[in-house]
Amino acid sequence: MATQSSHSQQLMRSERRMFSASDDSAMMKQIQSTHSPDGRFLDVKPILQVIDNVLRHLTPTIDHHALNGGQGHVDAIDDSSATMDSNGMLEALAFLVHKISCEISCKCSGGGDAHATTMVLLNTLSSYSWDAKVVLTLAAFAVNFGECWLVLQLCTTNSLAKSVALLKQLPDILEYSHKLKPHFDALHKLIKAMMEVTKCIVEFTELPSQYISSDVPPMSIAVAHIPTAAYWTIRSVVACAAQITSLVGMRYEFVTSTSEAWELSSLAHKVSSIHEHLQKILHLCHQHIDEKKQTEAYEGLKHSFGTPQLDNSKILLKIFSLSKEDPHSLLGPDKTKVHIEVLRRKHVLLLISDLDITHEEIQVLESLYKYDRVTSEVNYEIVWLPIVDRSAWNDSYQQKFLSLQSMMPWYTVNHPSIIEPAVVKYTREVWNFVKKPIVVTLDPLGKMTCPSALNMLWIWGNTAFPFTTDREASLWKAEAWTVELLVDGLEPNLSNWVRQGKVICLYGGEEMEWIESFTSAIKNVAQFLGIGLEMVYVGKNNAKERVKKITGLINERQLSHAWQDANVWFFWKRLESMLFSKTQHGKTNEIDVIKQEVMTLLGYDGSEQGWAVFFSGTNMVRAKGDKVLNAIQSFEQWEDMAQVSGFVSAIRGHLEGIADEHHCTRLILPGISGGFAETVVCAECGRTMEMYFMYRCCDE
C-alpha cells in the first residue's frame, strides 16, 4: 500500500505539470463554474457504442475507392444490439442532442472561437455528469457528420444522395480526394484520441464505490483532472466539426493549405497525452480495487475456516474460486471436468506446491493414493493446488503444468489461474507454504485438521489416516528409535534380518576410499565373531548423480546392499519429515530420543565424511566415518568385550571412551515451514550449535 501511495503522489505531480502547462487556474475555474449536476443518472455505455460505430465509419484511411461509393466493411457491421439497448434512451435525449448538434453547426459555420463554443456547450450540459457531457457532445457530432459521410458514400449510386451531395457541394471533396489525405488522417487521429479519453472517463464512473473512494488517491487525482479532460475532448469535437465544415464548402486554395491539418494533429497530441495520464491513474485505481477485493476475499476465507460448516462445499468453492453456478473447474483422475459435489463430505487432502514438485514426491503419493489407500480401506481424496506467479506465466510454465498434471492420478485444477491471490496469500500466511510441497487436510465438514500432513504421509503412509494433529501425536507416542522406524518399507529383507538376529548396518557418504575400507574391515570383524551382518548403503541427501555412481561401484564390487535412487531419496525425505513433525509437536532435543537421533544422522550427512549406524535388537550405536573406521580397525582393543556382550554393545563402549580433540558438525535442513527451535544441541558433544543461513538452488 505504501508503494501505491508513492506512485499516486508521483503521478499527481506529473499530472499537475501536464495539465497546468496549458490550462491556467482561471480557465479551470471557468470550466468548473459550468458544472452544476442535478444528480440524474445516465447510462452512457450503449450510446457510446453507437457513436463508436458511426465514427469508425467516418474516419477510415481515405482512398479513391472509399470516396467513390465503396461500401467496404460498413454494411457488414451488426449494430443491432447497441441500437436495441440505446434506442429508448436516445429517444428521451433526442431534443438535447439536436440542440447541441445545431449549436455546433451554427458556431462552426460562423467561424466562432473554439473555446467560446466549448463553454457554450458546457453550459448547455451543466446539469449532467462529466461523462454524460462528453458522450452527448460526441453523439451530436456523430449525427451531423455521420449524415454527411453517408451521403458522400452513396452519392455515386443513389440519386437522392447525389442530389443532396450537389446541394452541399460534396462533389468537390471527390474532385480533390487525392489531396485531402493529410486532412482526413489528422481527423482520424484526433477522433480516435477523443474516443479513447471518453471511454476512459466513462470507465472511471463505473469503478465500484465500495472499493474505492473519490476523496482519496488515486481516485481523487482522477476526479481533479476529469473536468480538464472533458473540456479538451469537447473542444476537439468543435475543432473536428469546424474542419469538416470547411472541407464541405472548400475551395481549391483551401485544399492546398496544411495549417488546419497541423492544428488537428496538435490537438490529437494533447488529447492523447491526457488519455495516457488518465490511463496511468486508472491502472492505479484498478490496483487499489484489486487489493481491496483480495483483502475482502482473504478475510472471507479466514472467516469461513473459523465458522462451523454443514459440509466442506463452501470452503472448497472458496479455495478453488468456483461459483455455485459453475463449479466445474476441477479435473478428475481421468482428466475430465467434474462437479465440486464429488468431494462433498469427504476427507480432502490439499496438495499445495509450485511447479517444482519432484517426480519422486508424485510417485510416492501415487503409491499411497492408488494402491495403499485401497488395500487399507481409507477414504480420502487428494486435490492439487498449484501456487504459481501469474505475472511470469508463459508457454514453458504451461507445458510444465500440463506435464505434472498428467502424472497425477488425483483431482487437479483445470488451470492455476482459477486460484485467486487471496487463496495464495492464505496458503503462505496461515498454512506457511513457502517452497516445499505441503499437504493440508480438511475433514468432511471443511475443518482444517492438520496444516502439514505430508510429514505423516512420508513417515507412516495411510496408517496415519485421517491425518490429524492428534493422530500424529498418538503415533509418535507409540514409536521408539528402531531400525524398523528408520528403514520402514525401503528394505524388503529387513523383517527377515531382524528375525534372524543379524546386526544391521546402515552407512552413507560419498568417499569411495572410506566405503571400501569400512566395508572390508567390518566384514572381517563379523567373520571373526561369527555373527550375521547385513550392510545397506543409503547414499547422501541431494547428491543424486554422485550417489548413483557410488552405488554402481558398490554393486559391481559386491561391497554391500545399495538402494536405488528412489529409495535413497525417500530415506532422507522421511528423516527430514520426522524432524519437522517432531519440531511441530514441541519436543525438546534433550528428552526426545527420536528427534535427537534424527538430527544426528542429518548432521552426519551434512559433513564431508562417511558415517555408520548399527542395530542389533534394541541396541544401537552410530558414529562418523573416521571414528567408526578407526574403532573397527582397533578391534583387538574391544575384542574380549565383543565376545561377552555382543558386537553393538562392545563397539559402543569403545566409542564412548574415545575423546575427540576437535569436531565440526553441520546440520543442513531444507527451507520449509516448521518453526524450528532456536537452540539446537550438537549430537557429538552436547553443546549448543550456532545458527547460520544457507542459500541453495541445486540438488547436487
Beta partners for 505? 535, 614
User: Does the pLDDT of residue 84 top 50, yes or no?
Assistant: no
| Candidate from 72-86, 280-294, 529-543 with smallest mean pLDDT | 72-86
Check residue 136 and give its pLDDT. 95
| Candidate from 61-65, 146-150, 367-371, 399-403 with smallest mean pLDDT | 61-65
User: Does the pLDDT of residue 219 top 60, yes or no?
Assistant: yes
Q: Express as a percent the part of the chain with pLDDT over 70.
A: 79
Contact 328, 339 (CB under 8 A): yes
Same domain (yes/no): 471, 509? no
**Structural domain span for residue 574:** 483-689
Check residue 477 and give its pLDDT. 92
Assigned C-alpha cell, 67: 470516396
The mean of the pLDDT values for the chain is: 83
Same domain (yes/no): 413, 527? no
What does the DSSP assignment read for 329-357?
Answer: -EE-TTSSEE-GGGGTTSEEEEEEE-TT-
Q: In this predicted model, which residue has the larger pLDDT, 489 or 355? A: 355
Beta partners for 533? 503
Task: Assess if residue 367 is contained within a domain.
Answer: yes
User: Which pLDDT band, with edges at 50, 70 and 90, does 242 fall under?
Assistant: confident
Same domain (yes/no): 365, 463? yes
Same domain (yes/no): 509, 646? yes
Contact 239, 114 (CB under 8 A): yes
* Burial letters 311-323, b for 16+ CB under 10 A, else e: ebbebbebbbbbe
Same domain (yes/no): 353, 232? no
User: Does the pLDDT of residue 540 top 60, yes or no?
Assistant: yes
Count of structural domains, the chain = 3
Check residue 690 and give its pLDDT. 62
pLDDT tens for residues 55-83? 887 654 444 444 444 444 444 444 444 44
Assigned C-alpha cell, 339: 462437479
Check residue 277 and give its pLDDT. 94
Question: Which of 458, 478, 498 is a domain's end point?
Answer: 478
Terminal-residue alpha carbon distance, the chain? 40
Task: Assess if residue 695 is contained within a domain.
Answer: no
User: Which pLDDT band, with edges at 50, 70 and 90, does 279 fall under?
Assistant: very high
Task: Assess if residue 13 is contained within a domain.
Answer: no
Check residue 187 and give its pLDDT. 86
For every residue of 66-126, which 3-state class applies, written as one string?
HHCCCCCCHHHCCCHHHHHHHHHHHHHHHHHHHHHHHHHHHHHHCCCCHHHHHHHHHHHCC
Task: Assess if residue 10 is contained within a domain.
Answer: no
Which helix (H) or strand (E) covers residue 448, if one does? Answer: strand 448-450
pLDDT tens for residues 37-54? 988 888 899 889 989 988
User: Which pLDDT band, with edges at 50, 70 and 90, does 178 fall under?
Assistant: low
**Domain CATH code at residue 385:** 3.40.30.10
For residue 376, give the 3-state DSSP assignment: coil
Check residue 661 and give its pLDDT. 55
pLDDT tens for residues 269-278? 999 999 999 9
Closest CA to 156 of 241, 239, 68: 68
Task: Assess if residue 298 is contained within a domain.
Answer: no
Task: Assess if residue 249 is contained within a domain.
Answer: yes
Single-letter residue type at 572: W
Task: Assess if residue 19 is contained within a domain.
Answer: no
Contact 228, 307 (CB under 8 A): no
Which helix (H) or strand (E) covers residue 620, if one does? Answer: strand 619-624
Check residue 149 and give its pLDDT. 74
Same domain (yes/no): 549, 680? yes
| Candidate from 259-268, 302-311, 324-333, 688-697 with smallest mean pLDDT | 688-697
Residue positions counted in the chain: 700
Q: Give the Cα separation of 230 and 59 in Å (integer).
A: 21
Question: In the chain, how long is the greatest CA-to-CA distance?
Answer: 128
Check residue 550 and give its pLDDT. 95
User: Which pLDDT band, with edges at 50, 70 and 90, does 5 fall under?
Assistant: very low
User: Does the pLDDT of residue 493 top 70, yes or no?
Assistant: yes
Same domain (yes/no): 270, 253? yes
Same domain (yes/no): 359, 425? yes
Same domain (yes/no): 519, 447? no
Check residue 12 and give its pLDDT. 41
Task: Assess if residue 156 is contained within a domain.
Answer: yes
Same domain (yes/no): 461, 488? no
CA distances from 187 to 220, 243, 423 (A): 32, 8, 49
Same domain (yes/no): 460, 423? yes
pLDDT tens for residues 601-640? 998 988 878 999 999 988 999 999 999 999 999 999 999 9
Same domain (yes/no): 461, 487? no
CA 461 to mean position of chain CA atoms = 31
Check residue 287 and give its pLDDT. 93
User: Does the pLDDT of residue 587 top 60, yes or no?
Assistant: no
Check residue 674 and give its pLDDT. 46
Which pTM was predicted?
0.77
